[in-house]
Structures are given as C-alpha cells and as structure tokens.
C-alpha cells in the first residue's frame, strides 16, 4: 500500500490529503494543535480568506467546491470609506466577477472532514514534528498530551505546516545549500469583530470588501455569514503619528477611531471594549529554496509565506496542489522527478506573488484613495473591455485567471509603463474616454 505523510492539518494539508487519497494513498496527517472543529472559533480568529479562481479550481478538482460555496460570500469590489464617510466603489473585475469572503475555521473544518470521509486519511492531533531523517523518510513527533516520542516511517512527506514550518526547520534547513530568509515588514495587524445588527443583518454592504485607506495604514472589513465583519487594522508597529505603540489605553483607542475612522466608530462606539480581544500580530515574507529534498517537499506557506494584501496566500497554496497533482500524472508518481520540477517551476511564482502582495498593500492603503489612480483603473477597464485579447488588468490576471504569478508580474510591469505614458497625456482627466487615449494604448501594446 502507498503511504503518504502530511505534516499540518491546515487548509493546504487537508486539501492535499484529499488529492492523495484519490491517487490511492493511505494518508496520515500529523497536526500540532487540537482539532479545530472541537474548539470554539470566533469569526475573527484570523484574517478572513478571499477565495478566488485558483482556489476554486483546486477545490473543484476533488469535488470540494460545492460544500465550500455554502459558506462563501461574494465580494464584487472594494468599497472605499474616506474621512467624511463618503463611499467609492471600485469593481474587482467584469460584471459578476467576485472574490469570496470565507471563514478560515469553517473552510478548514470542511476540508478536514472531506479528507477523513475518504476513509483513507487519518489526522493525529497534538503531535509536534521534532525531527526528520530526509534519507530514510522517518519522522519523529512529540505527543504533546503524553510527552511520548512517536516514530513514523513513510514513503513520501509533505510539509504543509505553515510559515514557521517544522519540516523546513528540522529537515530542509539542515541540508547543504538550502536558502532561507524571513523578512518581517514594519507593519502589524490587529483584528476587530464588528457585530451584526440586532436582527442579524450586516451593518455594511455585504458584497464588498470595505477599506478605510489612510495613506500609511488602513482598516479593512470582510463579511461573515452571521452578519458580523472580520475587520483588520494594518499599521506600523511603531514610529510616526499613527502606529500601534501610540494606541494602548481605552482613551487612545477611542480617540484614534473617532478621528481616523469616524463612520466605523459610529457603527462600533464600543471599539475600546473589543480592542484587546485579539492580539497584535506580525507579518512576514518567508523565502526558501529548494522546496524539496529527496522525498520531502514543502507546500503553501511552508514554502512561500507571504503578506495578505493580495488575498492570495491560500489560493497560492491550493494552486500548489493543482501543480503537484498535474506533475504526479506527468511523472507517474516518481516523486523525486515530481518534486524537482515542482521546485524549479513553482519557485518563480512564489517569489512573484510575494512581490505582488507587497505592492498591493500600497494600492490598498494609499492609491485607492487617489482620484488619478481610480481614473487609471477606469481607463484600463475600458480598454480591456474593448480589447480583451490585448489587455487583462494585473488584478484580474492574479485573481480571475490561472496565469502564472511570475508571468502576471512581468505583464503587470509592462502595463504599468504603458499607463504611466497614458496618464501623462495633457488633460487626461477630460480626455480619458476619448479615441485618442485608446489609440495611444494601441500604439504601445
């Protein structure tokens, strides 16, 4: 019997287990935490996820999409809130194109259950990976409940255990010529749960991702099924007038929200009571290479953890499943050949997504409040509608297609140069809808 071991029962590990069972593997998943399905997870436990095309494709391949659609709320664009409470809506793509707000806990529970329901996958909880022999495919776990060490031998190992991966740390990072870097950005985040109205309805338009862009920082809100919103404040840890180290007391929290997000404060005057319900957390980009050694491989955040500003972390992890699945067929499950090609071809996409994620933070916290940026997007959207074969906006390439991240990144840079020239046309604010502008773009693409 073919035996596979997955370390980490998170989103990618649980989904990948379903894939492996389809290929006839018996799968053992080791998870360091308790079973999240038995814990009381509030909607604001962690940043809500934005499911988009790449994620749906991976879910559909193993028949998990239908169940997930029941808990996914479509968001058709960004709703920007300015200091006066004025709203500006910017669609994400063409009509009916949406990203889907999904609870991390609920999605994870669906995928864990789907893996177990195959009858070929079992999950062992409270097992922390403490050692790996990469030559013999043997792992050692610490049973956190009993204190015992558990030794486990397998045919192939998948490290799906997140940004601070134990598989990477006790395994791959000890191999010769393994490259690893972690870069914590200057900003952190704190979550806030905006409750539903008393009748259970949403306090904001539920089919949009709400953003309060404030230049160097921002607040966002994603809808939950129960009428609440998972809100996240992204801001520098310290330095400058607006930073987490300046917002500590109830009075400081109150004053900060009243002056900076007045319309949000009106919805949630009890914000100071909620402030300490969720910890201040850090954000980092983790880069590593190669993503494999013999028959051990890294997937998802373990390989390419990114910051959440493109809403692609989970989608990229799910796309890892798609890529590995296709390579399994191509190489007839010769795992060393599969992993060799996966590492080499997927690494540029992981790097590109990390660069794109950092760039999109600037877009969300700053540019979306700029009328010239919004005009730029309007011109792009018009040209893309007229000439869909010549232009797909970068956001659509990343979110509404499965164009490789590395290709999208390069095409986005070219498009940026074109749009810089277009926006430099004298009087572009009046001319934006003219044939002259269309002709200019045509001459450049």
- The ranges assigned to domains in the chain are 2-40+104-181+285-359, 370-444
Report the pLDDT value the prediction gives residue 300, as an integer from 0 to 100: 98
Residue burial 37-58, b: 16+ Cβ < 10 Å; e: rest: eeeebebbbbbbbbbbbbbbbb
Query: Would you say how long the chain is, in residues?
Result: 445
Give the span between the Cα atoms of 314 and 196, in whole angstroms: 26
Give the span between the Cα atoms of 7 and 127, in whole angstroms: 9
Report the pLDDT value the prediction gives residue 378, as an integer from 0 to 100: 92
Please spell the DSSP secondary structure of 18-67, one letter per residue.
Answer: HHHHHTTEEEEEE-SS--GGGS---TTSSPPEEE-HHHHHHHHHTT-HHH
Report the pLDDT value the prediction gives residue 180, as an integer from 0 to 100: 97
Closest listed residue to residue 350, CA positions, set 300, 411, 415: 300
CB within 8 A of 192, min separation 6: which ones? Answer: 44, 231, 232, 233, 268, 271, 274, 275, 277, 278
pTM of the model: 0.94
Report the pLDDT value the prediction gives residue 46, as an integer from 0 to 100: 60
Q: What is the mean pLDDT of each run of 10 residues along the chain (445 residues)?
A: 96 98 98 88 62 98 96 96 93 92 94 97 98 97 97 98 96 96 95 94 96 93 94 94 94 96 96 92 96 97 95 97 98 97 98 94 77 91 93 95 97 95 94 94 94
> Phi and psi of 8, rounded to 5°?
110, 115
CATH T-level fold of 2-40+104-181+285-359: FAD/NAD(P)-binding domain (3.50.50)
Q: What is the DSSP letter of 196?
A: P
């Amino acid at each position: 019997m073919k035996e596979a071991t997955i370390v980490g029962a998170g989103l990618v590990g649980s989904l990948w287990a379903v894939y492996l069972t389809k290929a006839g593997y018996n799968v053992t998943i080791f998870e360091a935490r308790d079973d999240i399905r038995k814990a009381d997870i509030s909607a604001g436990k962690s940043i809500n996820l934005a499911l988009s095309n790449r994620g749906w494709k991976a879910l559909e391949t193993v028949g998990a999409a239908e169940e997930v659609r029941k808990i996914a709320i479509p968001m058709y664009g960004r709703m920007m809130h300015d200091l006066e409470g004025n709203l500006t809506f910017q669609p994400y793509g063409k009509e009916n194109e949406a990203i889907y707000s999904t609870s991390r806990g609920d999605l994870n529970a669906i995928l864990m259950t789907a893996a177990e329901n195959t009858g070929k996958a079992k999950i062992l909880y409270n097992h922390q990976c403490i050692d790996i022999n990469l030559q013999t495919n043997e792992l050692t776990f610490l049973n956190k409940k009993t204190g015992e060490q558990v030794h486990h031998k397998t045919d192939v190992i998948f490290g799906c255990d997140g940004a601070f991966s134990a598989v990477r740390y006790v395994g791959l990072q000890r191999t010769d010529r393994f490259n690893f870097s972690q870069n914590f950005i200057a900003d952190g985040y704190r979550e806030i749960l905006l409750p539903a109205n008393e009748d259970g309805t949403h306090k904001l338009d539920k089919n949009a991702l709400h953003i309060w862009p404030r230049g160097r920082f921002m607040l966002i809100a994603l809808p939950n099924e129960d009428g609440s919103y998972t809100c996240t404040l992204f801001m520098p840890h310290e330095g400058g007038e607006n930073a987490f180290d300046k917002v500590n007391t109830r009075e400081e929290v109150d004053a900060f929200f009243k002056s900076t997000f007045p319309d949000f404060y009106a919805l949630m005057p009890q914000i100071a009571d909620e402030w300490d319900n969720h910890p201040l957390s850090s954000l980092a980009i983790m880069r590593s290479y190669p993503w494999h050694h013999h028959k051990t491989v890294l997937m998802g955040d373990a390989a390419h953890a990114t910051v959440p500003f493109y809403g692609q972390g989970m989608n990229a992890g799910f796309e890892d499943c798609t890529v590995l699945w296709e390579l399994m067929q191509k190489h007839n499950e010769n795992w060393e050949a599969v992993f060799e090609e996966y590492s080499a071809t997927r690494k540029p996409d992981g790097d590109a997504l990390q660069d794109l994620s950092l760039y999109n933070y600037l877009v969300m916290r700053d540019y979306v409040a700029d009328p010239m940026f919004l005009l730029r997007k309007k011109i792009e959207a018009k040209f893309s509608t007229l000439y869909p074969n010549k232009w797909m906006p970068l956001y659509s390439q990343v979110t509404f297609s499965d164009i490789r991240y590395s290709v999208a990144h390069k095409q986005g840079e070219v498009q940026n140069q074109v749009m810089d020239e277009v926006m430099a046309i004298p009087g572009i604010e009046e001319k934006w809808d003219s044939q002259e502008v269309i002709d200019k773009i045509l001459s450049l693409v």
